[in-house]
Structure 1
Amino acid sequence: MMQHKLWFNLLLLLVTIRSVKAQQNELPYTVINLQTLNDFKPTGANWKLVSDVFYDFNKSGAASLKAGSGILANDLSGKSKDHLFTKMEHGDIDLELDFMMEKGSNSGIYLQSRYEIQLFDSWGVKEPRSLDCGAIYERWDDNRPEGRKGYEGHPPAQNVSRAPGLWQHLKISFLAPRFNEKGEKIANARFVKVILNGVTVHQNTEVTGPTRSAAFQDEKPTGALMIQGDHGPVSVRNIRYKAYGTEPVTLTNLQLKAYDGKFQSVDELNALTPKREMPIDVLAHLAPGSRDNFAGKITGTLHIPHTGDYLLNLNLRWIPAEVNVKVRNGAGELKIDGKKVVGVTTEDGGFVSTKVNFTAGDHPIELSYYKNFGQWYARSNDILLSLEGPGVPYTTLNPVIRAENPVSEITVLARSEPVMQRGFVNHQGIKHTHTISVGESDLVNYTVDLRKGEFLQFWRGDFLETTPMWYGRGETQLSVPLGSVIERSGKPSLAFLADQNAAWPDSSTNYNNLGYDVDKAGRPVFKYTLGTASVRESFASANEGRKLSHSFTVTPATQDIWCRVAEGRDIVELPNGLYAINDKQYFIELTGKEKPVIRTSAQNTKELLLPVKAVNGAGTVTYSIVW
């Protein structure tokens, strides 16, 4: 029993340290080769290597597969319906892959061939269940009463599934079950995190045994990755992973020597006598009374489980990321085995990353640092030291866990009618300060920049978290989408062009915002002028949240006004008349008969343009985004 508790505590520690991953570089993943099937065990003829896949989101059974490689396709047109197993067997693992569903299809990714993350056509489902996409599928026991044979299934936190025929992204962090030297299980398997299309749908979820339809009903320290092949068509690509052992990297025997005063270099500490010395168990300057104007030396023992190259990240959290070389508030230096490994300064924004070759075993470390003052938005005296290496997951060593100002998440949700929220929004790393986000009750949402007249982003799922806006001083002042976001390029939707080959402008110099009206459904209708033309722009959810309709009315319309419907790495017209944008990230559906112009920009991207045709002096353009 005591051994079980020790393993359980270790698993919780791994869960904690693997989840602290802010602002870091990573070592590369191992890629499963999809140019051949050599990385897989022999399987049925249903599994094929292809170069492209077309699934029609309107109907099943109309798949089109293009010869080639790079994509695994489960083709059930023949008699074979085999599962696919990797030759690689894993324990703890971080796994990423892309997948595409056919309409109505069903499949699954089985960790160790036993624990399933469900792949399912859940497009448009409002209340997901444990059979929907991203779910941890239920366990099954025929001896249980009717209606209760299935148990312990875990639905995704929200449904962020995309349409059939679009590529979706799945990221899984998994801890294998633990066994003692007698082979007895002492800890259950655990999904540390499951991220579907950028949204966390499970976190720290335990599974007590194999889920339904697993390849094996026993449990082992390792097992192959399995893709279910007997339920429905599915395609998979870009499979990559990091596999880990069970021995962690650790930092022990920590001692702090503390100094008071203002400093210009960590070298000054070598000639000084510390004001106090004390043992510590977390990486932080914990000397009593120390807030600003201090320095420290932390020594300890770093245990490395495996020989090899490790990625090391060091972050002095009192140095803000915004670099101001005239205001030097701190610096630091890390020595391992008596040799300087890395230094961090104000110019680094308090963060540095480097590779270090370690031999397995114990290594003495010395971390020297100083802090002259703290910015109001960088109050912490904490230090983040993180390592990742062969068989070792990204681990933040001895972190401080604080709850100084606990607060519940402040959210804005659209439940029965459209909801509008003004605020700041991060788009492509830039803060936009004059935006409005709109959420529909069927989980379709979007953001528009009112100052620039730019359609910034759209997403499926819950609406907004507003904690950074409304709690305390609102330090980042951002409203944060809660669902799966697709960003647009952030350029104007309408522009005057001399001809269809003229470059699309980055901004509209003749744009003048006139605010917005609210229609009977509670949706905004945006009003602005472009030169002498008046524009009314509107959005509406359609087909129970499966589409977002986008419309413009321009008065008076002239022959030189164009609408840029989409931009992406590629734009491909599909057999069903839709246009796939950005490697099948989303579809564009055109409602009129006008043939679009698809062209290459100066940045070597593709653009889809429509002319705003004038009828009795007014022009209209309407299209739908399907995702």
Structure 2
Amino acid sequence: MKKIIILKLLLLQTLLVFGQKDFPLNTLTWSISSPWQNASKITLNPINEKKTQIIDGNSIIYSKAPNSSIVSAIKLQDLKLKFYILQSKSGNAKLNLGDNLSLIFDMNSNDTFGAILKNNETIIKPLAEAKRKEGLWQKVELVLSLTGLNGIPVIEKVILNDLLIHSNVLLPNLKSTNGSLSFTNLTGLLAFKDFEYIGFEKKQPISISNLTYTLEETYNADRSFESKKQEKVSGKSAALTTDIPNNFNKYILHYKGDLTVEKDAMYGFTLEHQGTGKLLIDGEQVVGSGEYLYRNPISGLKEIKAGKHSFEYIYHPIYWRPVFGIEVSGADFRPYGLNDPKTLPTRQLEGGIFIDNVESKAKTIRSFLNFNETKLTKVISVGTPEKIHYSFDLDNGSLLQVWKGKFADVTQMWHERGEPQLLYPSGLLTVLNDEIPFFELSNEVQPKSDVYTEFVNIGYDLDEGGIPTYTYNWKNANFTQKFSPSNGGLFCEITSNQNLKFGYTIAIGNEITKLSDILYKVDNFYIEINEKAKVYIKEINGKYYLRTNLTGKIAYTLTW
């Protein structure tokens, strides 16, 4: 029986807090001196760290020396940080947020990696385990306010590898907020790159004025914005609001006005609404979606000159209660809303319906899935008691994504009408690819086969543990694929009844590095070959493919 948890959350496990498009942050500079050094690339071999390869350059800062520190000149107050770190298996390091506050990055501990250390004695553990394996880059995002809430410093958010691990952590009795932002490498290798920040100044450089609106009744909830041929409601408004008297059942609300900008800069705009909406500045759409969205933030960027500009906001609530908001953000101020706060009430249900844990047998869920900006409609997601999960495209026979930890957020499948029918992973995610993995050895750059008449899904069978085996028929040959949890990773078994004609794509990436005869690093995950197989790397149209000949059965393990 599925364990489904429905609750009012203050937290959202897979968070879009930092926007789907983050505006350019400020680059942080560091004073580098021995033992800290620069590099352009670091490739760590987890089997034999003595074979770690380091290439000279300037994009990465690293140290192998124990108890070595590097200091930044940034002033710690209210700010947002974003950076990437890489460590060896023995790595243990701290990001110091002043003299008495740190984030701990200990590769030998799952439950304290990303923990907060207060006054060098009190440890606040993360809400979720979000650590990647040694040698892989880990993304860290943090919002800190030392001016705090009523004078109490607060860590507003820490997001590790896109998982929320701390939220609104108040820090009473913090001995001091003095000191600099610095790293301390305690043991092993520590490297970091792309360290960016925003200092939140108390200002709001964009404002709106001279608002007019037009309200048009529509025939139905269709996203085409078709309106009825009847009188429209129009007028002036002091604020962006849904509070406009009317008798319409379904309607489109169209605002126009002036947008005043204090200085030339890149700005981010985030829309959150129930229905559909779009924002235009000087006649150009900055952000918007024709998809029905139930308060899923969408963001866009625009370089804007100082002065007065025209803007339009068009909103269609479809069949939901009217709710919308427009948030503006930049590189030196805290994000704020341009709308009347009453039009975007505090969310009572975020995420909402979770299948957190899978019990004695694997569970399968059919759903839609947003993948590389495409909605896939024939997807199966499999959750296991071992907390290793994956999504699989039944049309293309492709392993789309893998994750570990909690299973799935199914709010948009089972809440109210469940209109989007979308499933979201709740754990530490690695995104793979959606290409058909099988190919003919005589034609490795072949066009995609038709999934209805050529590459045909025969179906899948479940073993005693609930794990599916998928069967396909293509060019008079049968193929099977099975994916099972194993030692913290996903064990993949592939078979074919034709031994000499076909090959299989194990992984696709922007970069593939051979670490040993059986171990490969693909972008930010590892592939370990478990069976004797002829594995090779092939470049096709700027992407790299890790491939092998299908000789009866092949097996490999994917870890991240």
TM-score class, shorter: 0.7 to 0.9
The structure 2 residue matched to 1:95, chosen from 60, 81, 84, is 81
Aligned CA distance change for structure 1 residues 190 and 308 (closer, same or farther; 3 Å): farther
Residue of structure 1 equivalent to 2:559: 626
Q: 1:107 deviation in Å?
A: 0.8
Matches within 5 A, 1:9-158: 26-32=22-28, 39-41=29-31, 43=33, 45-58=34-47, 63-76=52-65, 81-112=67-98, 114-121=100-107, 125=110, 128=111, 132-140=112-120, 150-151=121-122, 153-158=123-128
Measured in 1, the distance between the counterparts of 2:27 and 2:50 equals: 31
Contact 1:417–1:440 (8 Å) recurs in 2? yes
The structure 2 residue matched to 1:204, chosen from 168, 171, 175, is 168
Aligned CA distance change for structure 1 residues 558 and 343 (closer, same or farther; 3 Å): closer
Structure 1: gaps of 5 or more residues: 1-14, 33-38, 141-149, 179-184, 211-216, 265-271, 322-330, 335-340, 614-618
Residue of structure 2 equivalent to 1:553: 495
- Does the alignment pair 1:218 with 2:182? no
Aligned to 2:94, the other structure's residue is in SS state strand
Measured in 2, the distance between the counterparts of 1:119 and 1:241 equals: 19
When the two structures are aligned, how many residues end up with a matched partner?
522
Measured in 2, the distance between the counterparts of 1:65 and 1:22 equals: 31
Measured in 2, the distance between the counterparts of 1:316 and 1:480 equals: 18
Measured in 2, the distance between the counterparts of 1:160 and 1:474 equals: 29
Provide Cα deviations, 1:372-428, integer angstroms capped at 9, x if missing partner: x75336x5263x343334521332234433368858711123244322112212211
Measured in 2, the distance between the counterparts of 1:202 and 1:504 equals: 47
Moved more, 83-92 or 396-405: 396-405
Q: 1:513 deviation in Å?
A: 1.8
- Does the alignment pair 1:450 with 2:397? no
Contact 1:310–1:387 (8 Å) recurs in 2? no
Contact 2:363–2:382 (8 Å) recurs in 1? yes
Aligned CA distance change for structure 1 residues 402 and 290 (closer, same or farther; 3 Å): farther
Aligned to 2:41, the other structure's residue is in SS state strand
Aligned to 1:392, the other structure's residue is in SS state coil
Contact 1:51–1:68 (8 Å) recurs in 2? yes
Measured in 2, the distance between the counterparts of 1:177 and 1:518 equals: 56
Q: 1:262 deviation in Å?
A: 6.8
Report the TM-score when normalising by structure 2. 0.80
Aligned to 1:469, the other structure's residue is in SS state helix
Aligned CA distance change for structure 1 residues 256 and 404 (closer, same or farther; 3 Å): farther
Aligned CA distance change for structure 1 residues 83 and 404 (closer, same or farther; 3 Å): closer
Q: 1:113 deviation in Å?
A: 5.3
Contact 1:342–1:354 (8 Å) recurs in 2? no
Aligned to 1:165, the other structure's residue is in SS state coil
Contact 1:118–1:135 (8 Å) recurs in 2? yes
Aligned CA distance change for structure 1 residues 173 and 620 (closer, same or farther; 3 Å): same
Letter of the 2:512 counterpart: I
Q: 1:170 deviation in Å?
A: 1.2
Aligned to 2:180, the other structure's residue is in SS state strand
Letter of the 1:103 counterpart: K
Residue of structure 2 equivalent to 1:593: 532
Matches within 5 A, 1:395-474: 395-397=336-338, 398-399=340-341, 400-402=343-345, 406=349, 409-412=352-355, 413-474=357-418
Q: 1:259 deviation in Å?
A: 7.0
Residue of structure 2 equivalent to 1:478: 422
Residue of structure 2 equivalent to 1:311: 267
Provide Cα deviations, 1:19-50, integer angstroms capped at 9, x if missing partner: 99697765322223xxxxxx32465x332222
Letter of the 1:169 counterpart: K
Residue of structure 1 equivalent to 2:191: 235
Contact 1:122–1:161 (8 Å) recurs in 2? no
Measured in 2, the distance between the counterparts of 1:110 and 1:62 equals: 30
Q: 1:84 deviation in Å?
A: 0.9
Residue of structure 2 equivalent to 1:606: 544
Q: 1:567 deviation in Å?
A: 0.9
Q: 1:534 deviation in Å?
A: 2.2
Letter of the 2:30 counterpart: F
Measured in 2, the distance between the counterparts of 1:475 and 1:295 equals: 22
Measured in 2, the distance between the counterparts of 1:187 and 1:197 equals: 30
Moved more, 434-443 or 113-122: 113-122
Measured in 2, the distance between the counterparts of 1:457 and 1:352 equals: 25
Measured in 2, the distance between the counterparts of 1:346 and 1:572 equals: 37
Provide Cα deviations, 1:236-268, integer angstroms capped at 9, x if missing partner: 11212222223455869x99877776799xxxx
Q: 1:296 deviation in Å?
A: 8.0
Residue of structure 2 equivalent to 1:324: none
Residue of structure 1 equivalent to 2:6: none
Measured in 2, the distance between the counterparts of 1:301 and 1:426 equals: 33
Report the TM-score when normalising by structure 1. 0.72
Give RMSD over aligned pairs.
4.0
Contact 2:271–2:288 (8 Å) recurs in 1? no
Aligned CA distance change for structure 1 residues 355 and 536 (closer, same or farther; 3 Å): closer
Matches within 5 A, 1:576-587: 577-582=518-523, 585-587=524-526
Contact 2:270–2:328 (8 Å) recurs in 1? no
Provide Cα deviations, 1:448-483, integer angstroms capped at 9, x if missing partner: 112332221111221111111011110211111111
Letter of the 1:30 counterpart: N
Letter of the 2:535 counterpart: P
Aligned CA distance change for structure 1 residues 529 and 298 (closer, same or farther; 3 Å): closer
Higher relative contact order (CA 8 A, sep 6+): 2
Measured in 1, the distance between the counterparts of 2:71 and 2:287 equals: 50
Residue of structure 2 equivalent to 1:168: 138
Aligned CA distance change for structure 1 residues 95 and 506 (closer, same or farther; 3 Å): farther
Measured in 2, the distance between the counterparts of 1:167 and 1:596 equals: 25
Contact 1:494–1:564 (8 Å) recurs in 2? yes
Structure in which a larger fraction of residues adopt strand: 2
Provide Cα deviations, 1:568-625, integer angstroms capped at 9, x if missing partner: 111111157411112xx00111123333121110x21111110012xxxxx0011111
Residue of structure 1 equivalent to 2:296: none
Letter of the 2:491 counterpart: S
